[in-house]
Amino acid sequence: MSRHLIDAHLHVWERARHPQPWIDPQTMSEIDRDYPPRSAVETLTAHGVDAAVVVQCVNELSETVDLLADATGLPAVRGVVGWVDLTADVARRHESTRFVLDHLGKVPMTSTTPVTWARELAGGYGSWLTAYLQLTADLEPHEQTAIDGANARRVYGLA
């Protein structure tokens, strides 16, 4: 059976456009570089991942707007989890937009956890994907399908 994978929580950033003050160059050197959407899609494709939902990194509406613009030119980006001030007029103007409140994937920022998290990414996407496929290999096909992307399609309303 061929697995159709969606990375449902992919962070991308270009620091000239949107600084990432949470990246400490001393302790997080593994991710202290730009990771633009096009590069992310190339990495995904190289590892056999079909699509992704990109997730904002900083709480700025401008980053969300830029991610949405980037997504229009990258068919593999099937969704954007952005940031918007829900008390602002912009949220009221987009009442038909699907909102996922506190998507629960963020790294706790009150400890050394981000440093550990960054080190674990040092092996690159291939290392992460290999571990993921090994972890899910013994699951039933319908369970794999749900985890591999069906849940993301359902939750985010992806095509």
pTM given for the model: 0.70
Would you say residue 75 has pLDDT above 70? Answer: yes
How many Å apart are CA 78 and CA 10, to the nearest integer? Answer: 11
Q: At what angle do helices 61-72 and 37-46 cross, to 10 degrees?
A: 50
Tokens representing 147?
A: 């985890």
pLDDT digits (tens, 9 = 90+) for 120-148: 555 677 777 787 788 888 888 888 888 77
Give 135's contacts (C-beta < 8 A, 6+ positions apart).
none
Task: Classify 70 as helix, strand or coil.
Answer: helix
| pLDDT value of residue 49 | 93
Q: Where are the domains of the chain?
A: 6-156
pLDDT digits (tens, 9 = 90+) for 84-127: 777 777 666 766 766 655 544 455 555 555 555 555 555 677 77
Task: Classify 8 as helix, strand or coil.
Answer: strand
